[in-house]
Each structure stands twice: as structure tokens, then as C-alpha cells.
């Protein structure tokens, strides 16, 4: 049997399904016990078992949808860019660092340029680093286009004295051309 994890999200979902959204977990557990003709012990673990039973018996597809989510595609292929895992991570990086090119300083809104999340060490050569945040940098379209698999420059190094922490330092970290 596959593993079932009763997360807070699962409990919220069950609450909505039985019309108890916004109610306390206890109210949900009690209601489920009633539905199944069980005596609720007031124990949280028992409550979780009731949630599990409810999902498995009444909404087995909830579980399936998670179990059948396609596995992470090979980071070296193009399917990787369409995967949920990559899109989520890429959004996180954009939100954390802002839509400003870490190479030339161009800004998505101000300069109307598209931002890319670039793999410093290319995913085709280092697939194991494809989902490692430290291996990612924000690059504008022109900077990203100019960068090929041969270039692994880390542009994220910033001038600590710059007033704007988002302003990138416009020299390469290692001083090389
Ligand atoms: Zn740029």
C-alpha cells in the first residue's frame, strides 16, 4: 500500500468536502467518526486515521492525483522546463531576488526585457544541480542568449557598498574576461 500522509492541506480539503470549512479540526474528526459509526476518542492520531479513511473511501482520486503525478523529467531534456518542480523553483528565485538581471542590471519592468532563470552550471552538463537554488541566477534575455553551455560565470556577486542590494556588480567574480 502506498503511503498516505495526512497533511494540514488534506484536513482543509476534507473540511471543505464535508461542509465544515473554517471549523476546528476537532469538529471535523468528530463528524467523520459519526459518519463511519466510530467512537471518536478525542485523540489526534485517531482523527488522522479518520481523515485517511475518508479520503481513501470517498475521494480515492485525491490520492491518485498525487501518486500519478509524473516523475521529474530528466533535467537535460526540454520537458524539464515544463515541469512543476522547475516552474515552482524558478518563481521562488524570481520573487526572492527580484526581476533584475544579475549580469547587466536590466529590470523587467523598467527595461521591458524578459527575465530568465539561468543555470550557472548548465543542466545539460550538471543535471544534479538543475534544482539547486545556489546554481541559479536571474538573467535578462540578451545576457542569457549570449551565454552558452561553455560559459559558467556566476554573475551573482554583488558590490557590498552599493546602496541598492539588488544592483549587481558589473565585473566578473574572477576578473576574467
Ligand atoms: Zn542582462
Question: What are 45-88's pLDDT values in tens digits?
Answer: 999 999 999 998 988 877 655 555 667 899 999 999 999 999 99
Q: How far is the CA of 141 from the centre of ligand 1 (A)?
A: 7
Q: How far is the CA of 7 from the centre of ligand 1 (A)?
A: 41
Q: How far is the CA of 95 from the centre of ligand 1 (A)?
A: 17
pLDDT of 1 higher than 70: no
Q: How far is the CA of 177 from the centre of ligand 1 (A)?
A: 16
* Long-range CB contact pairs, 78-85, < 8 A, 24+: 80/123, 80/130, 85/131
pLDDT of residue 24: 92
- Number of helices (H) and strands (E) in the chain: give both, helices first: 6, 2
Q: How far is the CA of 108 from the centre of ligand 1 (A)?
A: 10
pLDDT of 39 higher than 80: yes
| Alpha-carbon distance values, 175 to 14, 154, 170 (Å) | 57, 11, 11
pLDDT of residue 59: 86
What mean pLDDT is predicted for residues 33-43? 91
pLDDT category of residue 144 using cuts at 50, 70 and 90: very high
Q: How far is the CA of 111 from the centre of ligand 1 (A)?
A: 10
What mean pLDDT is predicted for residues 141-169? 67
Amino acid at each position: 500500500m502506498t503511503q498516505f500522509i495526512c497533511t494540514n492541506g488534506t484536513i482543509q480539503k476534507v473540511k471543505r468536502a464535508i461542509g465544515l470549512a473554517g471549523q476546528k479540526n476537532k469538529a471535523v474528526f468528530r463528524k467523520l467518526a459519526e459518519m463511519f459509526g466510530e467512537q471518536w476518542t478525542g485523540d489526534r492520531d485517531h482523527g488522522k486515521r479518520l481523515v485517511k479513511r475518508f479520503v481513501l473511501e470517498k475521494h480515492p482520486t485525491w490520492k491518485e492525483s498525487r501518486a500519478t503525478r509524473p516523475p521529474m523529467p530528466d533535467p537535460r531534456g526540454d520537458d524539464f522546463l515544463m515541469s512543476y518542480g522547475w516552474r515552482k523553483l524558478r518563481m521562488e528565485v524570481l520573487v526572492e531576488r527580484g526581476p533584475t538581471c544579475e549580469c547587466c542590471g536590466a529590470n523587467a519592468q523598467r527595461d521591458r526585457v524578459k527575465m530568465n532563470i539561468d543555470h550557472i552550471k548548465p543542466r545539460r552538463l550538471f543535471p544534479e544541480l538543475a534544482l539547486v537554488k545556489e546554481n541559479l541566477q536571474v538573467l535578462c534575455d540578451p545576457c542569457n542568449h549570449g551565454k552558452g553551455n561553455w560559459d559558467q560565470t556566476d554573475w551573482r556577486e554583488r558590490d557590498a557598498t552599493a546602496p541598492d542590494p539588488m544592483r549587481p556588480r558589473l565585473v566578473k567574480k574572477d576578473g576574467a574576461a
